[in-house]
Amino acid sequence: MINKSIKFFIMFLLSFNVFAGGDDRDQVYYENLDEELAAFEAQLEAEHAAEALMAEIETEMARQAALEAFQEKLEAEKAAAAAATAAYRDALLEAELDAFEAQLEAELAAAAEQLAIEKELAAFEAELEAEARQAALEAFQQKLEAEKAAAARSTAIYQARLQQEQMIKDRQAQLAL
């Protein structure tokens, strides 16, 4: 834009000079003016190139800043993902631990119930064995009483025979006399 303005201004000056009735005496002046104009245009192009280079550098710096911001955002997202993954793993581990504890409690309750059943069964068996012993004792005592009664009868019969034999001997001795 500046370049166009300068060219327009120079064209205006040249046109004004021609319309104002310029002559060939100013030839050296115009040659110098052409050289100055060429030097000025070269300087203007150099400045324009420098501005373009500066704009490119600024664009590259903006890209670099955007890249760094993106990388920072990416690192933050990675950290957030790692934290979320760790939290998820912790939650899974906690759930697994809770399930294991529940299973362990159920197994302990089942073991306690089994132990109670075994104790009750042992007590029942002990009671049954005691009753069987008592029944065996009572049967033995009845048998013993029956054997005592049989022995007493047998003894009574034996003594009665002995007495009878003694009586017979005594009678035979009396008769023999």
Q: What is the pLDDT along the chain (177 residues), one digit of tens a residue?
A: 677 777 777 776 666 665 555 555 566 666 777 788 888 888 889 889 989 999 999 999 999 999 999 999 999 999 999 999 999 999 999 999 999 999 999 999 999 999 999 999 999 999 999 999 999 999 999 999 999 999 889 898 999 898 988 888 888 888 876
Q: What is the pTM of this model?
A: 0.38
Could you give the C-alpha distances from 159 to 92, 147, 149, 151, 153, in angstroms and in order?
97, 17, 15, 12, 10
Q: Using the structure block, give the residue that is written with the tokens 């324009």.
A: 48
Q: What range defines the domain where residue 172 resides?
A: 2-176
Whether 48 contacts 1, CB under 8 Å: no
Number of domains in the chain: 1
Q: How far apart are CA 125 and CA 25, in angstroms?
A: 147
